[in-house]
Amino acid sequence: MKNFEKYSRAYFMPPVSSMKWSEKEYITEAPIWCSVDLRDGNQALVVPMSLEEKLEYFQLLVKSGFKEIEVGFPAASETEYAFLRTLIEQSLIPDDVTIQVLTQSREHIIRKTFESLQGVKKAVVHLYNSTSVAQREQVFKRSNDEIIGIAVTGAKLLKKYAGETEGDFKFQYSPESFTGTEMEFALDICNRVLDVWQPTEDQKVIINLPATVSFSMPHVYASQIEYMSDHLKFRDNVILSVHPHNDRGTGVADAELGMLAGAERVEGTLFGNGERTGNVDIVTLALNMFSHGVDPKLNFENIPEIISVYEPLTKMKVNERHPYGGELVFTAFSGSHQDAIAKGMKWREEKECQYWTVPYLMIDPKDIGREYEGDIIRINSQSGKGGIGYVLEQKYGLQLPQEMRESFGYSVKNVSDRLHKELKPDDIYDIFKKEYVNITAPIEFINYKFVQHDTYQTAVTIRINSEIQEFESGGNGRLDAISHGLQTNLGLHYRNLIYKEHALEIGSGSQAVSYVGITSQEGAVYWGCGIDVDIMTSSVKALFSAVNKMIVIVPLSIENAPSTGGSNN
């Protein structure tokens, strides 16, 4: 590409090596989660939420288990102010939830922020100012000491107004654009703020280190976080927080490595909504932990329900491939993937496995409210016999023999390929019924009766070309007797009769299903299925279905077959 020379690495490595985080394998406990959907997320919407919509969204966050929720920038607009006052005056904030409000380091804004908090039981007041080289030089045109002065002044004002306002207030400071700031300067300004606040074990403060713009690979951010964690004053009384954005598509990785590096708190949004490419996605972060056997301490047991609220309120769409929440993220179209999933699910049922190890599925979709039917295996022209058979078994209770699955799989794939579309379970079932079940042409089975049960002597009534005919035959068993009669009386030729039956337990528990496969003289295998309340009748219907499929493919002159009237074979 052209012009790559104009870009440089706009981040700063720590002055000392900070790589202890790389020795850790995974995150062992949930962080403090803070949702910033109603502030950072809302300000990024094309149409920000109304007061009523924000109230509904707040309830969604509470229901999802968030204990810290940033509700806005109350001094910035009347809507933000009114929203906060509504939460307080209508007692909508649960006792175990702490709201958070954002403020710049300007006295009139800080004063109005605390006015908006009148009557609140507890809140985090979040102070920020930009610290990056680009912001200092290009936007504020201030020296390092002047930028520190802004932060320190704001810290003092927070103490002043908190002392004059009833309520339990915790302070938070963010060196905004932290990732574009020299690490020594970021450390200095945070420590100067901490000197003002003097945190204690009973009154901890939050230092939040945002990747306001993501400049580096995730391991660099982790090293920056670790450096700050190792060198902050009052470290035992500081809650270290991260707030990654997703400019490089690494927001989740930044947060995960940041937690390994010492962060105890994460600010983010549901499904990553936020400025530009968005904030870190807390749904993905939390469920990544869940997939490692760690309780994320959030209630994401019904992701579809959360999406059903999230999308109308934000007017945003959760992408089909979005981790965990996307419509297609648990779906396999590929034949080999479908086969592996189907076998893995069967294995799990048979072995009563303690741990989830199904191929291609990172977690059990049911744990987050997704359904196996229609979610895991979906059928198109790329699908295979395993997936198609799985769909029939899961939804309709049909347990096709392995050999029959292959035959039917080609039929389904051909239909999908011809129509250029995905086939729904009902489509697949309709194809199966049409091509395999109780086929009555050109030979229609009417009934049968056993003349001599001890020798399986059988009389069978059929209809060919509107003509009723009857024949008798014997064999080694009931189905063998009828099959023998079909061959000898109608001049049919096939061998290797394959047979399987089972009760149809899903949908209509009293019915029986039988499958019959036969091999023609040319070596082709033809399958039929019979469904009936009587197991023997279903077997006979399956045999006739297979024979009729063979006759259609390899036409036989059955109208010229030997007379069947009362013959005994």
For the segment 473-502, the average pLDDT, to the nearest whole number, is: 89
What is the phi-psi region of residue 553: left when phi exceeds 0, alpha when psi lies from -120 to 50, beta otherwise? Answer: alpha
For residue 326, pLDDT beyond 50? yes
Pair 264, 166 in one domain: yes
Same domain membership, residue 477 and residue 360: no
Residue 91, pLDDT > 90, answer yes
Tens digit of each residue's pLDDT (9 = 90 or more) over 234-286: 999 999 999 999 999 999 999 999 999 999 999 999 999 999 999 999 999 99
Asked if 345 and 413 sit in the same domain, the reply is yes
Provide the pLDDT for residue 560.
Answer: 45
Instruction: Give 387-390 contacts, CB < 8 A, sequence gap 24+.
Output: 387/332, 387/333, 387/335, 387/337, 387/338, 387/339, 387/341, 387/342, 388/338, 388/412, 388/428, 389/342, 390/338, 390/341, 390/342, 390/345
Mean pLDDT of 343-347: 89
Q: How far apart are CA 208 and CA 85, in angstroms?
A: 26
Beta strand extents in 406-523 (DSSP E only): 443-452, 457-464, 467-473, 494-503, 512-520
| Adjacent-strand bridge partners of 240 | 207
Domain extent for 98: 4-314
155 and 42 inside one domain: yes
pLDDT at 563: 42
**Domain count within the chain:** 3
What's the token pair of residue 467?
A: 């003509």
Average pLDDT, integer, range 30-47? 97
Hey, how many other C-beta atoms are within 10 angstroms of the C-beta on 457?
17
Domain assignment present for 323 = no
Query: What is the reported pLDDT for 172?
Result: 98
Residue 469, domain CATH? 3.30.160.270
| Residue where one domain finishes, among candidates 266, 283, 314 | 314
For residues 152 and 91, state if they share a domain. Answer: yes
In a domain, 516, yes or no: yes
Which is higher by pLDDT, 509 or 425?
A: 425
Q: 41-45, 418-422, 525-529, 530-534: which range is least confident on average?
A: 418-422
* Residues 524, 110: Cα–Cα separation, whole Å: 83
What CATH number did the domain enclosing 115 receive?
3.20.20.70
Average pLDDT on 81-100 reads 97
Average pLDDT, stretch 187-197? 98
Residues 417 and 392 in one domain: yes
Q: Is residue 331's pLDDT more than 90?
A: no
Q: State pLDDT tens for residues 482-492.
A: 999 899 888 89
Give mean pLDDT, residues 111-125. Answer: 97
Domain shared by 134 and 224, yes or no:
yes
Residues 237 and 383 in one domain: no
Band (pLDDT 50/70/90 cuts) for residue 555 is low
18 lies in some domain: yes
Together in a domain, 198 and 347:
no
pLDDT higher than 80, residue 24: yes
472 token code pair: 């008798």
Is residue 472 domain-resident? yes
pLDDT at position 412: 83
pLDDT, greater one: 211 or 334 = 211
**What integer pLDDT is reported at residue 228 of this predicted model?**
98
Question: Is residue 410 located within the same domain as residue 480?
Answer: no
Q: Could you say which DSSP state residue 234 is in?
A: T
Q: What is the mean pLDDT of residues 34-40?
A: 97
CA nearest 174: which of 154, 144, 198, 145? 154
* Residue 322 resides in a domain: no
pLDDT of 381 reads: 56
Look at residue 68 in the predicted model and tell me its pLDDT: 98
Whether residue 101 has pLDDT greater than 80: yes
Beta bridge partner(s), residue 104: 128
Contact 92, 54 (CB under 8 A): no
On whether both 283 and 368 belong to a single domain, the answer is: no
460 and 420 assigned to the same domain = no
Which distant-in-sequence residues (6+ apart) come within 8 Å of 167 by Cβ? 117, 119, 120, 121, 122, 123
Within a domain: 567: no
Which amino acid is it at 79?
A: T
Q: Which residues pair with 173 in a beta bridge?
A: 127, 207
Region of poorest pLDDT, from 238-252, 312-326, 393-407, 435-449:
393-407
Among all chains, which residue has been given the structure tokens 């999308």? 311
135 within domain boundaries: yes
How confident is the model over 216-243, as a mean pLDDT?
Answer: 98
Q: Quick one: pLDDT at residue 562?
A: 43
Please state the rounded mean pLDDT for residues 21-37: 96
Can the peptide bond before residue 442 be classed as cis, meaning omega within 30 degrees of 0? yes
Q: 190-194, 383-387, 420-424: which has the minimum mean pLDDT?
A: 383-387
pLDDT of 380? 61
Residue 545 predicted with pLDDT over 50: yes
Q: What is the pLDDT of residue 418?
A: 83
The pLDDT, as a whole number, for residue 362 is 93
Is residue 414 a part of any domain in this protein? yes
What is the predicted pLDDT for the residue at 378?
Answer: 66
Q: pLDDT, tens digit, for every residue of 352-380?
A: 889 999 998 999 999 999 987 666 766 66
Q: 190-204, 332-346, 461-475, 480-494: which range is least confident on average?
A: 332-346
Q: What percent of the chain has pLDDT over 70?
A: 93
The domain boundary, picked from 409, 436, 463, lies at: 436
